[in-house]
């Protein structure tokens, strides 16, 4: 255990040391080999020019190398593997895709992912906006936001434990220790086994992600609301607009781009949702989602890389429109610089 | 005007009540977890955490002594003893010799038992069973009771989960993963971000567009090829495929796009004059970066570091794929998930284990909330 911690410290020192050595070393070498140790002015300029055209690549080379190995190569390789069999050896054409769209489990995962995609981003965005707006007007708003913010620091697995406790079920004769069933019983109902309740259990899992993502939306909207010019709101108020009207007709249009950013960010998280489903149900009781199914196929029966890759590609395809939109948005911003 | 004024006030009150309700919904589940983790494990399953401060009602049973324990008294024969476990703080309210009617007699009340004499059970658990005839029973009589236990708060659950359930070791493992995986990408990303901002080279814009695109690439795309790559590397060089070095590099790779993006935005916002005048003074890019830009970028570096640290600490998927579940490699999230599967009903273990896994992120988060929020608002697009 101690050796492990020492190992980690050595890794930090070596990692930083190596990076520093690389950056300092290559820059020194560049200055040395293409230095100014010449008298001819023309040569001096040409050397300086060559030097400064090489230097950027020294700066970005490590990042490009790591990005290449850990993100770019895998994207290409996953696409290739999705056309191969379970070991990645034999070419099978579209067989994996045909299998997927005929497989009940896969189709169920698609249906559940669609449910998640509709409900979680809209609920988190809506609630986040509501909380940010409410907290903006009360003196204890900062405290409220701080408390609501807390779930953002909690892991999906930790949140799953917290909510599994909320959903805890005991038989009708026993004392309920899950708060949800305790409320149901105190209102005269029968306790419900929420997690295995078909179809609706999906929503009980979604609540966990909404609980984690709403604070994120809240923080972003808080910052955006502060950017809305006061005089536009004052003007509307003088014209006799009610607070609700002011919100929907004056404030909301001005922060619409932020709403879109928050919505898409949560959408991407939802597409990859894995930990919550694995920890709560592992896909049982019709709660399967794509990311969990993909993980399952990576190891099921010794691992089927073809089918696992196919499911990953399906997730990727759903992300591509957001990716293109992101790049366009970035390029537009660059144009305005 | 007055009406309008009153409307606003009414709306504000409704808003405050609604906000308060939302705060309660958002904090209550976590409070429940924390309170439960501190409760005695028998009480934890006997009553909801919201009643932690009131006495818990428990139903249990005890056994009397046998014929061997009887003593002869002036009135006949007596078996005496205590039904409660030693040092139990419980107080018996009702008792019975019939499991179907557990509240038949009050504490202190005397009642016939087993057709042989009368028994008295007191609140402190002591009982006395007297009979004019000698007792012949060879097994003790079962006595059922309903007792009230005063609230007990204890750190026993934490002691148990840290030592016996592997959470303590997993905590160390998680720290081993998270700290290097947070620090290593920073320097690499900072140099890259500087080059993207202040140096000109062919392909700069489209290379950065690729980085922006990589921000949203799902992790799932990388898992299978990297798993294969690691297995091949492991087999070729005769080293373990699942290692800390492997996961540090993986987290570095997955964290780099966000790091580059955040830092480029920040470095790009530094005043151009500053960089230009340094250049005029003859400083090279390397010097401008290390002496000027790096120190000025500390807030952005801190934002990213917090972000990456929380992300790595809370990650489950990457750890499941790139580390084994052996004791010396399993991380907190993974261990907690194992406990959810194998000890799903042992809430004293799950609640304290979950809280231990949350404590570092919560501390980091409350101590450095300002930087965290800045990071969030600047780069809300991590893939």
Cβ of A54 under 8 Å from any chain B Cβ? Answer: no
pLDDT band, residue B381 (cuts 50/70/90): very low
CB contact under 8 A, A81 and B225: yes
List pLDDT tens digits, range A30-39.
888 876 665 5
Nearest CA-CA distance, residue A47 and chain B, Å: 14
- The CA-atom distances, in angstroms, between B308 and each of B40, B184, B242, B376 are 36, 11, 21, 11
B64: which residues sit within 8 A by CB, 6+ positions away? B79, B81, B83, B119, B127, B129, B140, B141, B143
Cβ of A330 under 8 Å from any chain B Cβ? Answer: yes
Average pLDDT over residues A252-261: 88
CB contact under 8 A, B23 and A315: no
Cβ of B233 under 8 Å from any chain A Cβ? Answer: no
**How far apart are alpha carbons B22 and A259 in whole angstroms?**
20
pLDDT band, residue B256 (cuts 50/70/90): very high
pLDDT band, residue B382 (cuts 50/70/90): very low
List pLDDT tens digits, range A272-311.
899 999 989 888 888 999 999 999 998 877 788 899 999 9
Check residue B47 and give its pLDDT: 79
- The CA-atom distances, in angstroms, between B172 and each of B167, B246, B332, B334 are 9, 17, 9, 13
Check residue B157 and give its pLDDT: 84
- Closest-approach residue (CA) in chain A for B20: A144
Q: At what angle do helices A305-336 and A73-81 cross, to 10 degrees?
A: 140
pLDDT band, residue B125 (cuts 50/70/90): confident
In the predicted structure, residue A4 carries a pLDDT above the cut 60: yes
Nearest CA-CA distance, residue A199 and chain B, Å: 22
B46: which residues sit within 8 A by CB, 6+ positions away? A175, A177, B56, B57, B58, B149
Residues of B in contact with A27 (CB under 8 A): 284, 286
Nearest CA-CA distance, residue B118 and chain A, Å: 32
List pLDDT tens digits, range B328-339.
889 999 999 888
Find the largest Cα–Cα distance for chain A.
97
Residues of B in contact with A315 (CB under 8 A): 218, 220-221
B301: which residues sit within 8 A by CB, 6+ positions away? B186, B190, B263
Work out the burial of residue A294: count CB atoms within 10 Å of its CB; fewer than 13 is exposed, 13-18 middle, 19 or more buried: buried
- CB interface of B with A, residues 61-120, below 8 Å: none
Residues of B in contact with A63 (CB under 8 A): 188-189, 191-192, 256, 260
Cβ A120 vs Cβ B296: under 8 Å: no
Q: At what angle do helices A41-67 and B204-214 cross, to 10 degrees?
A: 10
> What does pLDDT average to over chain A?
87
Residues of A in contact with B377 (CB under 8 A): 219-220, 223
In the predicted structure, residue B192 carries a pLDDT above the cut 70: yes
In the predicted structure, residue A317 carries a pLDDT above the cut 60: yes
> What does pLDDT average to over chain B?
84
Give the range among A92-96, B60-64, B374-378 with minimum mean pLDDT. B374-378
pLDDT band, residue A70 (cuts 50/70/90): very high
Please give the backbone phi and psi of residue A312, each rounded to the nearest 5 degrees, phi first.
-60, -40
- CB interface of B with A, residues 212-231, below 8 Å: 212-229
List pLDDT tens digits, range B271-294.
888 888 888 888 888 888 888 888
Check residue A337 and give its pLDDT: 54
In the predicted structure, residue A248 carries a pLDDT above the cut 60: yes
Q: What percent of chain A has pLDDT over 70?
A: 96
**How far apart are alpha carbons B171 and B185 in whole angstroms?**
22
CB contact under 8 A, A66 and B383: no
In the predicted structure, residue A84 carries a pLDDT above the cut 50: yes
Please give the backbone phi and psi of residue B350, each rounded to the nearest 5 degrees, phi first.
-65, -45
Task: Give the H/E segment covering residue A80.
Answer: helix A73-81
Cβ of A12 under 8 Å from any chain B Cβ? Answer: yes
Nearest CA-CA distance, residue A66 and chain B, Å: 6
Q: What percent of chain B has pLDDT over 90?
A: 18
From the list B23, B48, B357, the residue facing A176 with the nearest CB is B48
Average pLDDT over residues A155-163: 92
Cβ A215 vs Cβ A151: under 8 Å: yes
Check residue A336 and give its pLDDT: 60
Give the range among A175-179, A223-227, B52-56 with minimum mean pLDDT. B52-56
In the predicted structure, residue B8 carries a pLDDT above the cut 60: no
Check residue B309 and give its pLDDT: 92
Nearest to B263 by CA among B227, B214, B234, B298: B298
Residues of B in contact with A311 (CB under 8 A): 220
Residues of B in contact with A271 (CB under 8 A): 218
Which of A70-79, B103-112, B332-341 has the highest average model confidence (pLDDT)? A70-79
Cβ A64 vs Cβ A57: under 8 Å: no
The DSSP output letter for A302 is: G
In the predicted structure, residue A75 carries a pLDDT above the cut 70: yes
Global confidence as pTM: 0.84
Check residue B1 and give its pLDDT: 37
Task: Give the H/E segment covering residue B96.
Answer: strand B91-96
Cβ B332 vs Cβ B357: under 8 Å: yes
Residues of A in contact with B26 (CB under 8 A): 147-148, 150-151, 211, 214-215
Residues of B in contact with A298 (CB under 8 A): 223-224, 227, 321
Q: Where are the alpha helices (DSSP H) in B199-292?
A: 204-214, 220-237, 244-268, 272-280, 285-287
Where does residue B87 fall: left (phi above 0), alpha (psi -120 to 50 degrees), or beta otherwise? left
Q: Mutate one of A158, A276, A277 to test the B interface: name it (highest B CB count within 10 A).
A: A158
CB contact under 8 A, B253 and A331: no
CB contact under 8 A, A158 and B357: yes
Cβ of A34 under 8 Å from any chain B Cβ? Answer: no
Where does residue B117 fall: left (phi above 0), alpha (psi -120 to 50 degrees), or beta otherwise? left
Check residue B379 and give its pLDDT: 54
| pLDDT higher at B139 or A307 | A307
CA B97 to chain centre: 43
């Amino acid at each position: 255990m101690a050796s492990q911690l020492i190992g980690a410290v050595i890794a930090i020192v070596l990692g930083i040391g190596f990076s520093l050595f690389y950056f300092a070393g290559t820059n020194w070498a560049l200055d040395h080999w293409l230095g100014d140790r010449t008298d001819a002015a023309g040569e001096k300029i040409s050397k300086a020019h060559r030097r400064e055209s090489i230097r950027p690549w020294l700066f970005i080379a490590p990042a490009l190398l790591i990005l290449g190995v850990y993100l770019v190569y895998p994207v290409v390789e996953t696409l290739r593997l999705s056309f191969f069999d379970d070991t990645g050896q034999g070419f099978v054409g579209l067989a994996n895709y045909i299998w997927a769209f005929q497989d009940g489990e896969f189709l169920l995962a698609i249906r559940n992912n669609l449910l998640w995609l509709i409900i979680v981003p809209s609920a988190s965005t809506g609630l986040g906006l509501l909380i940010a707006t409410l907290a903006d007007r009360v003196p204890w708003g900062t405290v409220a936001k701080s408390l609501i913010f807390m779930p953002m620091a909690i892991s999906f697995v930790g949140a799953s434990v917290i909510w599994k406790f909320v959903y805890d079920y005991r038989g009708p004769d026993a004392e309920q220790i899950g708060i949800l069933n305790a409320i149901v019983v105190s209102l005269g109902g029968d306790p419900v086994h929420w997690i295995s309740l078909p179809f609706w259990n999906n929503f009980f899992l979604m609540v966990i992600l909404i609980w984690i993502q709403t604070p994120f939306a809240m923080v972003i909207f808080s910052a955006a609301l502060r950017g809305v010019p006061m005089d536009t709101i004052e003007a509307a108020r003088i014209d006799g607009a009610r607070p609700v009207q002011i919100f929907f007709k004056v404030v909301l249009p001005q922060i619409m781009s932020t709403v879109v950013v928050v919505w898409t960010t949560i959408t991407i998280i939802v597409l990859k949702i894995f930990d919550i489903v694995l920890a709560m149900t592992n896909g049982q009781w019709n709660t399967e989602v794509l990311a969990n199914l993909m993980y399952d196929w990576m190891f099921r029966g010794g691992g089927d890389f073809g089918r696992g890759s196919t499911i990953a590609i399906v997730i990727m395809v759903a992300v591509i429109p957001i990716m293109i939109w992101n790049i366009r948005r970035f390029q537009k911003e660059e144009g305005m610089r | 005007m007055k009406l309008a004024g009153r409307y606003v006030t009414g709306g504000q009150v409704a808003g405050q009540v609604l906000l308060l309700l939302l705060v309660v919904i958002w904090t209550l589940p976590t409070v429940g977890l924390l309170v439960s983790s501190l409760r005695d494990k028998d009480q934890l399953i006997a009553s909801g955490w919201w009643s932690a401060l009131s006495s818990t009602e428990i139903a249990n049973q005890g056994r009397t002594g046998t014929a061997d324990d009887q003593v002869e008294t002036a009135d006949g024969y007596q078996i005496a003893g205590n039904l409660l476990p030693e040092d139990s703080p419980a107080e018996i309210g009702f008792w019975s010799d019939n499991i179907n009617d557990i509240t038949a007699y009050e504490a202190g009340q005397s009642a016939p038992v087993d057709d042989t004499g009368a028994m008295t059970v007191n609140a402190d658990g002591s009982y006395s069973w007297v009979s004019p005839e000698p007792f012949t029973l060879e097994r003790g009589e079962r006595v059922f009771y309903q007792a009230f236990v005063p609230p007990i708060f204890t750190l026993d659950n934490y002691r148990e989960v840290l030592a016996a359930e592997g959470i303590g070791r997993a905590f160390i493992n998680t720290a081993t993963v998270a700290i290097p995986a947070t620090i290593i990408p920073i320097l690499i990303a900072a140099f890259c971000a500087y080059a993207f901002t202040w140096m000109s080279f062919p392909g700069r814009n489209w290379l950065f567009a690729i980085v922006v695109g990589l921000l949203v690439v799902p992790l799932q795309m990388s898992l299978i090829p990297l798993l294969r790559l690691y297995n091949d590397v492991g087999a070729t060089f005769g080293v373990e495929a699942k290692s800390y070095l492997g996961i540090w590099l993986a987290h570095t790779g997955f964290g780099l796009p966000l790091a580059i993006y955040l830092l480029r935005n920040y470095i790009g916002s530094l005043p151009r004059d500053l960089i230009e005048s340094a250049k005029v003074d003859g400083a090279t890019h390397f010097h401008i970066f290390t002496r000027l830009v790096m120190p000025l970028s500390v807030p952005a570096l801190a934002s990213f570091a917090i972000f990456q640290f929380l992300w790595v600490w809370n990650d489950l998927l990457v750890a499941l794929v790139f580390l084994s579940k052996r004791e010396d490699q399993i991380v907190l999230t993974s261990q907690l998930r194992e406990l959810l599967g194998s000890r799903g009903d042992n809430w004293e273990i799950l609640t304290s284990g979950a809280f231990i896994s949350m404590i570092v992120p919560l501390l980091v988060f409350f101590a450095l909330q300002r930087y965290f929020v800045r990071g969030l608002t600047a780069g809300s697009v991590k893939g």
